[in-house]
Amino acid sequence: MVWPRWGRGLKKAHRQTQKSHTYGTVVIIRRTFISYLLFLIAIVVTPGCTGDISGSMLMYDMWLPFPISDTPVKSVQTYNRNHGTDLYSVQHDMQHEIDYLTKRVDDKNKLAAKLNFRTADNKRVKVPYMHDHFTKSKKVGSNDYVLMCGGLTAISRQKGEELCWAACIQYLIYDKYGRHVDQIDLASQINRNKQPLDSAASVKDMMDALGFGGTRVSTNGSWHIIETLGRGHPVVLGLMPKGTYSVGHAVVVIGARYSFISSRVNYFSYYRNRIKFSQLAVLDPTEGGSRPEWVNVSSIEDKISFVLSFDFVPRATTY
C-alpha cells in the first residue's frame, strides 16, 4: 500500500511565491527571464523522444531523481467515446514515427554543435537516438501495438497487508541488479518513525528504498511508461481513487497495448496526448506470480497517482 503524503511542499512553495512579490518587480522579471532561458536550454538539449524536460545538459552530471512533466495515461476506449471515432481503424505506419524522432534528434544535435554546448569538463554534448519503444513494439492491428519489457520474472507475494510497495520495489531492484532484497529489509530501511514494519509508504519512501538518486518519477506519465518499457524495464504504478486521501495500491507494469490518435505527425505538439492505451500488463503483488493480468486502462485511468522506475533513459552523451 502507498500512503500519499504530499501537499506540504506545495503550500510551502506557495508561501515562498507570495513572499517573492515583496522583492520588487525588477527581481521578479529577472527571475522570469532566467527561468525562460533555462527552459529554452533544456528543450534544446532534451532528447526528441522524451516528451519532458526533466533531464538536460543542466542536470547531466548530477545523480538525482528526475521529476517529469508528462502527458497523462488515457484510454483508447475513453478517447473513442468522447470523439465518436475508432482509433483501431486508423491506418498508421510506425516507420513515420521513427523517422520523425530521428529527425528531431538530428536537428537538436546540429543546434547543440552550432551553439557549442559543453559539459563542466569541456566535453561536447550529443543527444542519443531513443526510439527503442517504437522499434520494439509489435504491431497487432492497423493502429494497435504491444510493447513488453524483457527478462521478466515472477513478482513475490507481498509479506504484509500494507507491503505491496515493498514487493514492487523488490521487483525493480531485481530487474536492474539481479539481486534479491527481502521486503522486510526494505520496510526496515525506510521505517524511521518506528512504525510497524507492515506499514504503507510514501513515494519518497519508495524512492529512498531504490537509492533515491537515479530514479524517475511522474504523477501520471504515459511517455514514462512507454520509454521505460522500450528500454526493457518495468515501472511501478500507484493506484488510488481520485479525490480520496487513503491508502492506495502499488503494482508493477511490464507491458502495454496502445494506439496513436492519428497518423499525422505534428512537430510542435507531438507529445501532447498522442498515445492512448487500451491495456496494461500488470503484475499484482497481492497474489504474486509470473503471469501478468491485462488490465483495461479505462478502468484505472482515473486512479493512477504516480509512475516510478529507475531512470534508464539517457538524456545526453559526451564526446
**Domain ranges, ordered by start, for the chain:** 1-319
Torsion of CA 87, 261, 311, 294, to 10 degrees: -10
Q: Round to whole Å and give the CA distance between 130 and 314.
A: 8
CB 239 within 8 A of CB 303: yes
Q: Round to whole Å and give the CA distance between 144 and 151.
A: 23
Tell me the residue ranges of DSSP E strands in 158-248: 215-218, 235-239
Picking from 4, 65, 57, 69, the residue whose alpha carbon sits closest to that of residue 310 is 65
* pLDDT digits 0-9 by tens, 97-111: 888 888 888 988 898
Residue type, 192: R
CATH number of 1-319: 3.90.70.10
- In the numeric block, the cell 522579471 is attached to 29
Question: Which is it for strands 275-283 and 249-260: parallel, antiparallel or unpaired?
Answer: antiparallel
For 311, the grid coordinates are: 531512470
Q: Residue 148 pairs with which residues in a beta bridge?
A: 255
Tell me the residue ranges of DSSP E strands in 68-204: 125-126, 138-141, 144-148
Helices 8-20, 25-45: crossing angle, 10 deg rounding: 130
For 11, the grid coordinates are: 503550500
Q: Round to whole Å and give the CA distance between 108 and 47.
A: 8
pLDDT at 313: 72
CB 37 within 8 A of CB 258: no
pLDDT at 189: 84
Q: Round to whole Å and give the CA distance between 34 and 56.
A: 16
pLDDT at 196: 78
Q: Round to whole Å and give the CA distance between 271 and 158.
A: 36
pLDDT at 315: 67
pLDDT at 63: 40
Q: Round to whole Å and give the CA distance between 77 and 87.
A: 9
CB 258 within 8 A of CB 87: no
Distances in Å between the Cα of 42 and the Cα atoms of 47, 224, 248 are 10, 18, 34
With a cut of 70, list the residues of the chain below it in pLDDT.
1-69, 192-194, 243-245, 263-273, 315
For 259, the grid coordinates are: 494506439
For 95, the grid coordinates are: 516507420
For 318, the grid coordinates are: 559526451
